[in-house]
Amino acid sequence: MKRSQLSIMNRSFTKLNERRSTLIYNEDTINLKQRVQKIRKNSVEHLHLLLEKAQENLTANGMEVILAKDAEEARESIYQLIKNEDMIAKSKSNTAGEIQLSEYLESRDVEVLETDLGDRIVQFHTSRPTHPIGPACHLNMEKIAEVVSDKFQREVKAEPRAILETVKKDILEKLSQCKVGITGANSVAAEDGSLLMVHNEGNISLLTMLDLHIVLVGIDKLVPTLEDAMSVVKLETIYATGKTVPAYMNVVSSPSKTADIEQILLKDMYGAKRVVLIFLDNGRSRALEEKEECLWCIGCGACIVNCPVYTTLGPDFGYLRHLGGRGIVLSHFIENDEVCYDSGLYQCTLCGLCTVECPLEIPTNNMLEDLRKESVKKGLYLEKHGEIRENIRKRGSSFKQET
């Protein structure tokens, strides 16, 4: 990543730190954090049971549920649902990033309309998102204006309102031609059969009103109840943005319906005619067996904001949209040792700051240290480290013989 983009990203991170600084230490947040730790740890521990319950209850509520064991299955399921469309609308989703959905759909001639402003800008700029909630925080206003001007072939002033209006107008025009909306979900309540989505722009509300609403979600997002889900997303919002609540929390439990005429159930009032939920495994079951802590994550991005390595290398340190050390752990389960190695397995200093920053206290440095053992067993280690091992074998010291 370019040095100039890194410094803009770090400036954004400094602002975020300032905004969060008092909020994360207040008593309410600490209580919420303790509650969410219990919820998440308990949910991950009983993940398969929750998944069964969720399938049952979501289906009973009128949604369609598909289980996808890997990225390919998920992409194919989505493609089968939308293959007659020229364009689909999408909200920000790190899970969609994980399965490289946009790239896949574009390759099959389906245009993807990103509706989140930051994502749309990154889509125009063709760079990698740098924060799970603020994907464009590596671009400054001048650069964004330049990218947007290039896209629309007319000069857009380097002024936030002008940029917003230009992008919004284009998105709304295109959105009127879309019949399918694809979103993620921040948390899924198994017992209620409900999906909880968080956003600030209102874009997800618009997507839920299209004919078909496809929700792509990792199975790790499951919690027992809607109250639990609400706690999770409140904490996520605090750690991700420094605000106590987002502008919107949408709960979707069924396609649009009414019973206003003699209590006769009628579908298809204003919202989606169909809601299809795709539960993505993609290595999560494996992770559950070996390193379940990496599934506690609520997606706030607090781990990368102060990470010495991430703030120096940017998204090259991580795996697709799973940024930073925890993303590298996940890459081992989603892909294999080679991808894990290439994602930066040995770039982490194992300092443990991310565990302190993480509201779930995920022990990422311990997990990475463990994964290095497996990597070495496969012969995947750095030449320099191999040399030092030889020095230790020969003379009990990391250093070569003094010359």
Partner 1 sequence: MLYFRGCVVREKLPQIEMATCMVLKKAGIDYDIVDGEECCGSFLLRTGFTDDALQVMHKTSQNLKDETILVSCAGCYNTLKNDYKKYLGVELDVIHTSQLFSNLIKQGIIKPKKLPVNVCYHDPCHLGRHCGEYQSPREVLASVANLVPMENEKENSHCCGAGGGVKSAYPELASEIALKRVDDALQAGAELLVTCCPFCVLNLESEKLKVIDLTEFFCLCNSVESLENNISKEDILKKSPNTQKKI
Q: Which residues bind partner 1 (CB under 8 A)?
A: 306, 308-309, 311-313, 346-353, 356-357, 365, 368-369, 371-376, 381-382, 384-385, 388-389, 392-393, 396-400, 402-403
Report which DSSP code applies to 71. Answer: H
Residue closer to partner 1 by CB (options 91, 355) is 355
What's the closest the beta carbon of residue 69 comes to partner 1, in angstroms? 29
Residue closer to partner 1 by CB (options 141, 353) is 353
Buried b (16+ CB within 10 A) or exposed e, 221-232: bbbbebebbbbb
Residue closer to partner 1 by CB (options 22, 312) is 312
Cβ neighbourhood burial of 73 (10 Å; 0-12, 13-18, 19+) = middle
What's the closest the beta carbon of residue 296 comes to partner 1, in angstroms? 19
Instruction: Please give the structure tokens belonging to residue 283.
Output: 């290595």
Residue closest to 158 by CA, chosen among 130, 134, 139: 139
C-alpha 143/C-alpha 146 separation (Å) is: 5
Q: In what order do the strands lie in the sheet with 222-223?
A: 222-223, 187-189, 194-199, 248-252
What's the closest the beta carbon of residue 55 comes to partner 1, in angstroms? 39
Taking the mean position of all CA atoms in its chain, how far away is CA 367? 20
What's the closest the beta carbon of residue 377 comes to partner 1, in angstroms? 8
What's the closest the beta carbon of residue 133 comes to partner 1, in angstroms? 21
C-alpha 97/C-alpha 218 separation (Å) is: 12
Cβ–Cβ contacts within 10 Å for residue 182, how many?
A: 29
What's the closest the beta carbon of residue 125 comes to partner 1, in angstroms? 25
Residue closer to partner 1 by CB (options 144, 340) is 340
Phi, psi (rounded to 5 degrees) for 239: -75, -30
